[in-house]
Amino acid sequence: MFWLFMCLRCSLNNHLQNKPFITAFYENQCSINAKFRSNPCKFVLQTGLYRLFAFSDQFFRSFLVPIHHFLLVLHLNLPINIKNMKVPNCIITLFAMLFLLSCSRHEADVKSSLLLFQRGAYPNVIEHDGTFYYTMQAPPPNSIAIWSASSISDINKTDSVMIWDGNANQMSNIWAPELCYINGKWYVYFEADDGNTDNHQLYVLENSSKSPMEGSWTLHGPIITNDEWNYGIHPSSIVVGDRQYLLWSGWEHRRVETETQCIFIAEMENPWTLKSPRIMISKPEYEWERQWINPDGSRTAYPIFVNENPEAFLSPDKSKVIVAYSASGIWTIYNSLGVLYANASSNLLDAASWTKLSEPTFKDMSREPVLYGTSNVTVINTAAGESKIIYQAKSKAKGFEESLIFVKDFEWDNASLPVFGSPGS
């Protein structure tokens, strides 16, 4: 009972400070883990309870707040040693059970986030024939793996299958894999280089098996995106009508002293060959897209203005093509999620068809943000009618460490544009 109540105390502490439960996850997990690592059973169960409590935090704030004063009295006076506990266990159990009952509504609460992986980057998910397939940039380095499960929330409970080993194929810095199912075959788009990131190029793997977890993969590429130089990162493919398009981040002009990453689109002749010239549909123009220096002065060696990692998806009614993208340096506190959109019936190769939102979206707007870098996302409209955003986040304001992967429900407005809400809530 003690370990259960300790988790409840953590949530109460953060509630009194007007912080969401996810803050408790970062501020308290290490200290509690240390208490229970000597007992594996308690440690595993405690970790599971953290996930349950994250689901129920919103319910707790709206329904169980009236009892928090009483629980605070218990919190302030409860001895640490359970053997000396003066409060009857039945009272603790009662309120702990009330708290846990709220977990049953986490799937319906569009404000809740579920932690999927404690380490990873550039998440990507696709649903096919009732199965969800997931990939991301994850250890071991220079490899691509795929997970599968009957629901997104169960993906982290399954074993992955490695489908590509870059080291065995003389490839370095494999980033941002994206899984697609096109015309009866599986494709994985990704980027790689020869060890020099200035030489990043786009590639695609092909598999004709029924499941991407089976069969063999054939490499195509590099995909030629520019005859003068061929730098490209973060490929994303979408089929609109009977046309396949490829989006990626690249340079308008080759870097000399300043690097400017822009978003390009082109129509495809086949999954590994462009049919049209590249068209730039976004470049860093707003102040929130051009940040590369942190408040403490830490920075890259030269200015880098960033529009990258485009994620293309259709609205549920298929009237809009939306592109979510990462703006400003991921190493900064200013990294944000931007949104472009165009009518699905318009000429997507005409830059004038695209509208960019003038402000970033999906940011932690609390007084003391606890999640940063929530700009690398994948979006899915499931066969069950749910809309979910799977996103990468950091618990530190700067740097690349501690990237976690979350999933969250979201809604759509009357203009068929996504309303992502706030991460971590």
Question: Span 27-55, mean pLDDT?
Answer: 43
Element (H, E) at 69: helix 68-77
What interhelical angle do 68-77 and 2-16 show, nearest 10? 120
pTM for the whole structure: 0.75
**C-alpha dist (Å) from residue 37 to 7, 25, 128, 157:** 15, 17, 39, 21
Amino acid at 295: P
- Mean pLDDT of the region 281-304: 96
* Whether the predicted pLDDT of 360 surpasses 60: yes
At 145, the amino acid letter reads A
Gap between the Cα atoms of 398 and 382, Å rounded: 33
CA distance 391 to 123: 7
DSSP result, 175-201: EEEEEEEETTEEEEEEEEESS-GGG-E
Question: How far apart (Å, rounded) are the C-alpha atoms in residues 45 and 34?
Answer: 14
- Backbone angles phi and psi of 408, in degrees to 5: -150, 140
Q: Would the pLDDT of 254 be above 90?
A: no
Q: Is-contact 142 171, C-beta < 8 A?
A: yes
The residue with greater pLDDT, 396 or 266, is: 266
The predicted pLDDT at position 91 comes to 55
CA quadruple 77, 80, 83, 88: dihedral sign:
positive
Which of 2-6, 86-90, 138-142 is most confident?
138-142
Are 288 and 360 spatial neighbours (Cβ–Cβ below 8 Å)? yes
Domains of the chain (ranges; CATH) run: 2-105 (no CATH), 113-419 (2.115.10.20)
- 335 burial via Cβ count (<10 Å: 0-12, 13-18, 19+): buried
pLDDT score at 82: 37
Give the pairing type, strands 131-137 and 121-128. antiparallel
Cα–Cα distance for residue pair 249/162, rounded to 1 Å: 26
Q: What is the pLDDT of residue 235?
A: 98
SS3 206: strand
Q: Give the mean pLDDT of the chain.
A: 80
